[in-house]
Structure 1
């Protein structure tokens, strides 16, 4: 079982996370930011990851610390659950339509963390969520997992649809990347012999 339990306590947030990569998409998520709860539920469901996540953050300031620290915890949880990355496919991608919106999500679990987003999100807020935190979330996740994450918007103008397509597409792409390669289940997928 590829699982992880992560706790992160700071003066700004207190977060607990229980992850099973090889799950069915069950989720229990409470972040005190309704739209972020929704996005993480979609990420887990479409990636088929079992995820329990509770966050108590200083949302009376804004959602920045909570969103970024959740991404740190999630990235660390996936990193821990994957261990030395033995047997994984490593690469994943998805072109995801969401009504008028079309987003490409692609990633490489390379050991090198970077997030490249090209999104045209016109709304500054969706519900109680600051849309500039989309990039902060994926930057922190990429850094902690050690992955190159690309999110490219090909079409669309509805801000909710654009962000939702990113989280759904990323869930699907990550599921492909962490899947076990049945042709080489004991190999590290790198000519270097290591990813970490």
Structure 2
């Protein structure tokens, strides 16, 4: 079973994550940041990864620690659930349209964390979420997930649509990349025989 649980506790945050790669897209998310909850729900629903997130952070200071640590915890859970990555497709990409916005997301579950972020916002906040924190969430997620991740908004004007198309694109790319390839279900998808490093 490709499932994992992660608990991350610091002086700044307490986060519990449960994740099932072979789920149905069911979710229960509570971070204290409404817009982030909405994005993580989209991530779960469109990736078909079951996701439970309970986060308590020092939001009286700002959102930085909660957003960062949530990304780190979900990425760690993803990595744990993937195990040795045997049989996964590894690579996937998605074009994610949302009204006037189009975002392209490409992923390699390489074990080598790297984020290319070409997405900009014209507002400082969406709901109560600081828009500069979206890039930071993706960076944190890629770091502990061991992902090479490229996110590029090709065009778009509505800030809500830009953020949502990025998360939905990530979801659809993840769905493809974590799937077991029936033609190579017993092999690690690398000529090196291992992923990472």
What is the TM-score of this pair, normalised by structure 2? Answer: 0.98
Cα shift readout 1:80-119 (whole Å, capped 9, x = no counterpart): 0000110000001100100000000111011100111101
Stretches of 4+ aligned residues off by more than 3 angstroms = none
Distance 2:180 2:80 in 1: 16
Displacement after TM superposition at 1:120 (Å)? 2.0
Give the root-mean-square deviation of aligned CA atoms.
Answer: 0.6
Q: Structure 2: where are the runs of 5+ without partners? A: none
What is the TM-score of this pair, normalised by structure 1? Answer: 0.99
Distance 1:10 1:106 in 2: 32
Aligned 8 A contact 1:120 1:157 in 2: no
Cα shift readout 1:147-184 (whole Å, capped 9, x = no counterpart): 11110111101111000000011011011000001100
- 1:122 equivalent to 2:122? Answer yes
Distance 1:120 1:81 in 2: 32
Distance 1:119 1:19 in 2: 27
Distance 1:145 1:20 in 2: 14
Alignment correspondent of 2:146: 146
Distance 2:81 2:96 in 1: 26
- 1:70 equivalent to 2:74? Answer no
Size of the alignment, in residue pairs?
A: 196
Matches within 5 A, 1:47-196: 47-196=47-196
Distance 2:93 2:5 in 1: 26
Secondary structure of residue in 2 paired with 1:180: coil
Secondary structure of residue in 2 paired with 1:112: coil
Q: Structure 1: where are the runs of 5+ without partners? A: none
